A = this chain, B = another copy of it.
């Protein structure tokens, strides 16, 4: 039975030597047997395995790492844990590394460069095999530098250095997708209310929206893009302003679910029915917002968990000697709820010419 330092009498941990002794072999043989090396007599292996089992042997990862020269750990350096975008990315990464028997060190720099350096040092000193830098906003960030002893992957916020590998969300494609969906719902008079113009993502999403509209020979209604802030109250205010300017609209693409929620409220206060009169699509697929609004909000999902997984896989590849470079943009998908209503589903019909 394993003993406890927590409450019972503390006792030496079980080591490979204990296992070897019990199985009556050398530590070298015990090591080989446990690590599935081929040059071990099946009978011997069985004895070793049984001994390890009986003693509940668990190899000391530090010792193993020390001799192997790799720790089997990676550092997750986030800029802002509070931001709700980091979380799904962390989860995706955690998931992907789990399969890999790689453990994660979590560090939160709280948006402070000093603290980031501090954590970076700590992580390197812990001999992490690689780093994932998770940004808080979709805009680019300073590189950690080209001279690190381990590979780095930037997730969500791309690195400014093109020689680094970054995995980000394709906001232009996201914007396209949103408008595409509204067009598929039969809407043509589409307005776009979005967040902080200081964010690259605002402009990217707007560009995707405009591009898709242009392809359909259309333009944004309401005299261009309404930039503001990523809040519900801006969504409300912008909608009021928009309606003062024109009521000739049949859909709104909101740059975030929070904004969309404000849009929904004011549209309905103003007597417009959603989705009958005006359809609304958001961005983020933030369940508690999108799922609980009235009506439930259709939205664009950035698939951040997949982004985290992808970042983990890329890092694993880089650690294995296959580094990447440049910025990889991952796609979004539409999650349809009740604020948009696609026209009759064409999937079963033969493709139309053109």
Contact = CB atoms under 8 A, between A and B. Distances in A.
A5 B149 contact: yes
Contacts of A10: 149
A61 B103 contact: no
Interface string A48-88: 00000000001111110110000101001000011010010
A89 to B, nearest CB: 11
A124 interface: yes
B106 A2 contact: no
A106 B149 CA distance: 23
A147 B8 contact: yes
Contacts of A125: 58-61
Interface residues of A, number: 59
A179 interface: no
A231 to B, nearest CB: 6
A233 B292 contact: yes
Contact of A127 (B61, B106, B127): B61
A76 to B, nearest CB: 7
Given A6-B323, A63-B66, A258-B292, A126 B148 contact: no
Contact of A106 (B105, B151, B258): B105
A111 B253 CA distance: 36
A263 B327 CA distance: 45
How many identical chains are in the complex? Answer: 2
A73 B1 CA distance: 25
A163 B108 CA distance: 32
B149 A2 contact: yes
A103 B62 CA distance: 14
A149 B123 CA distance: 25
Contacts of A151: 5-6
A13 interface: yes
A86 B147 CA distance: 35
A101 interface: yes
Contact of A150 (B6, B107, B258, B288): B6
Among A3, A60, A289, find the residue whose CB has the most chain B CB atoms closer than 10 A. A60
Contacts of A91: 81-82, 108
Contact of A147 (B4, B76, B163): B4
B122 A94 contact: no
Given A71-B62, A122-B103, A6 B127 contact: no
A63 B67 CA distance: 9
Contacts of A231: 292
A146 interface: yes
A104 interface: yes
A121 interface: yes
Contact of A152 (B6, B66, B152, B232): B6
Contacts of A37: none
A126 B258 contact: no
21 contacts: A1-B147, A2-B147, A4-B147, A4-B148, A6-B147, A6-B318, A8-B146, A13-B149, A58-B121, A58-B124, A60-B127, A61-B125, A62-B66, A62-B126, A66-B66, A73-B126, A91-B108, A94-B107, A103-B122, A104-B105, A232-B292
Which are the 7 A-B pairs with shortest beta-carbon distances? A106-B106, A232-B292, A61-B126, A62-B62, A58-B125, A4-B147, A6-B151
